Structure 1
Amino acid sequence: MMIVTTDYIPGKEIRELIGFVKGSTVQSKHIGKDLMAGLKTIVGGEIKEYTDMLDEARQKAIERMLGEARNLGANAIIGMRLQSSSVMQGASEIIAYGTAVWVE
């Protein structure tokens, strides 16, 4: 399934506008990794534990959005966006959303 952040797909014609689709997840790391990440803030640099957590969360949110689009009979998603928010310390929500369409 094609996913784009634009409102159209070059070379394709939107035949049907199916509707809004989204997928989300809330992810956190276990206490041991959270403690290690906290120590990293003292010395500086990338906090790999959180980078990995957010990568995993983005993938889950996108997969859930794709599943919703497939269930509606779409073959593409246009206008896709990702949004994140902190739910609590060490946990973030990631939302992937867009417009499910049928293109030819």
Structure 2
Amino acid sequence: MLIVTTDAIVGKNIQEVKGLVTGSIVQSRNIGKDILSGFKSVIGGELKSYTGMLEDSKKMVKERLIEQAEAAGANAIVGLRFELSAGQGTSELIGYGTAVIVD
């Protein structure tokens, strides 16, 4: 499955638009990680545990997008976007794009 953030794919023609595909995941954060991250935020630096959680979330959301696109008969997704929101003790990652058939 070809996935791009652009609305077109260079060298390919969109033959048919199959429609919107979406995927999301809500994860709870670990209180122990939150405490350690609080210390890290004081001194600065990457919060590696949250980076890892975000990478895992992106992988799962992309898998869900691909499943929907394949079910619609598409072979590509254009216009991919991610949005992240964090609440008290949780984070939600939403991905969406347009499933298409390209030649």
**Same fold at TM > 0.5:** yes
How many residue pairs align between the two structures?
A: 103
4+ runs deviating over 6 angstroms: none
For residues 28 and 62 of structure 1, what CA distance do their matches in structure 2 show? 19
> TM-score scaled to structure 2, two decimals?
0.91
Do structure 1's residue 8 and structure 2's residue 8 form an aligned pair?
A: yes
For residues 95 and 43 of structure 1, what CA distance do their matches in structure 2 show? 30
Structure 2 residue aligned with 1:97: 96
> TM-score scaled to structure 1, two decimals?
0.90
* Conservation of the 8 A alpha-carbon contact between 1:75 and 1:102: yes
Identity %: 50
RMSD of aligned C-alpha atoms?
1.2
- Unaligned segments of structure 1, at least 5 residues: none
For residues 95 and 86 of structure 1, what CA distance do their matches in structure 2 show? 11
Do structure 1's residue 78 and structure 2's residue 78 form an aligned pair?
A: yes
Equivalent residue letter for 1:78:
V
Equivalent residue letter for 1:64:
R
Correspondence 1:18-97 to 2 at 5 A:
18-89=18-89, 91-97=90-96
For residues 27 and 66 of structure 1, what CA distance do their matches in structure 2 show? 20
